Chain A
């Protein structure tokens, strides 16, 4: 993506956005709702014409790819005719792209939709619809996968499956995966890198480790000697707050669980519970996108 800009009416949905997605990795494309993620992905796939800028796959624009479905697979929304079976839906695209129609059954099995393939897609649950979308993207066995909010509407089990599936596609099969989400927690366990956007602009990009380095998050501690523990930790300026609803608990910001445990042990303070509350990344994400929700909401309206 290079210098992508798109304006809908008066709203600039995407503003001079540039980033690169590396092969063999899962890249999370993060931003609040209306930050321009979908518009960016649609521009990359030639569905929306950008005002300025270009998006290329190995240097070639999507529309210029000789066999786009074999190189790039995309799941943008659950789109199918409700009266057509999932299998027939897939076979249509096999025919359109010259793939053997037998691929339809292969990808149905791959996403665990085999038995439901001959049923009308209109009767599918939300999770099955997402799987059908994923199956469509996988038809051409592409080396690049682009997924827009694929976890939307999935139940916890479906999300768990999706995470594993995406990791498998990227790490075991060496595909490039770009997956967008407005929830950090969705990509945190899957992505190697993240690209964060807000109000159509690039906010931050880098590996998860790099972003985590910015903040250590917060830690929950319970101890019968909670007052002593608080004094001990406050001694060097660490922020310690009482936890609501737990008289013996405190929330410690800026230290890891290891660090809190080590200091408590050194001071001979007994601990009953010690666990990380928010990850550092979560705080980074909130901080980076803070204040852009309002503007983003307006963008959403304009883009709708």
Chain B
């Protein structure tokens, strides 16, 4: 079983790196987090922007949490990882090679969790580089230590978990375009709405977005969980998506 799983994880990496999708996603994630970091650094302390000044502890944590802007890319990476099998009908040869479909999905979860780690490392490095270099150029960069470092680490962890959630979501929905659209609508429309409407704001902290915010924002904003609680909750969402996705992929007919 152990060696079988290793083989399957390697096969997933072979699939991922034999097309160029991953390059686009990686570049997109770097641009997204880097651009936000540059924008926030540029306007830090500007009274019109409402951003805290460069030398404040609030700014430090905010700046390093900007790496989480790439979570949308993580989700898409995970979704593509599994839905491409259905989109291009390669689910057939994949499940012919490994009729134990649960193993295939578990291998995908593992393979993409590791890919998510790679993505997180690069995104965090880009974010840090922009925050430090640009901040220094403007005269005062936050330290990468203490709370700031913890925020960055949690942001990286969130990127990994969102990749796993993406795999689970893809396994549930199968349709690539549908799953990506659903994820985008949820992340950019549904969650912000729930967050801002007073009646639902209390439930927001239990949602993935609320958990993510709890992990990376230690000040202001709505009522949130503790940092570690947020991480556990998000991990729970990742595992739930993975479990449901596996269950469905195993049972559904491949036609």
Contact = CB atoms under 8 A, between A and B. Distances in A.
Interface of A: 39, 42, 45-49, 62-63, 65, 68-69, 74, 76-77, 79-85, 88-89, 91-93, 95-98, 136, 303
A48 B253 contact: yes
Interface string B224-255: 00000000000000000000000000010111
Nearest to A63: B99
B90 A80 contact: yes
B97 A68 contact: yes
A93 B98 CA distance: 9
B254 A93 contact: no
Contact of A92 (B18, B92, B253): B18
Contact of B7 (A48, A80, A89, A95): A95
B98 A96 contact: yes
Interface string B82-112: 0010001111111111111000000000000
Q: Specify which of A65, A81, A96 lies most central, judged by the most chain B CB atoms within 10 Å of its CB.
A: A96
The size class of the interface chain B forms with chain A is 20 to 34
B96 A45 contact: yes
9 contacts: A45-B96, A47-B96, A63-B99, A68-B96, A92-B11, A92-B18, A95-B11, A97-B97, A303-B255
Contact of B254 (A48, A69, A83, A91): A48
Contacts, number: 86
Interface in B7-41: 7-8, 10-11, 14-15, 18-21
B10 to A, nearest CB: 5
A88 B93 contact: no
A47 B10 CA distance: 23
Given A91-B14, A92-B11, A97-B7, A48 B255 contact: yes
B18 A47 contact: no
Given A81-B84, A81-B88, A83-B20, A74 B11 contact: no
B100 A63 contact: yes
B53 to A, nearest CB: 47
A85 B20 CA distance: 12
Given A48-B253, A79-B92, A82-B88, A69 B18 contact: no
Q: Which 9 A-B pairs have the closest CB atoms?
A: A96-B11, A63-B99, A88-B18, A79-B89, A95-B11, A47-B254, A83-B19, A48-B253, A96-B97
Interface string B58-96: 000000000000000000000000001000111111111
A96 B7 contact: yes
Q: Considering residues B10, B89, B99, B251, which has the most beta carbons from chain A within 10 angstroms of its beta carbon? A: B99
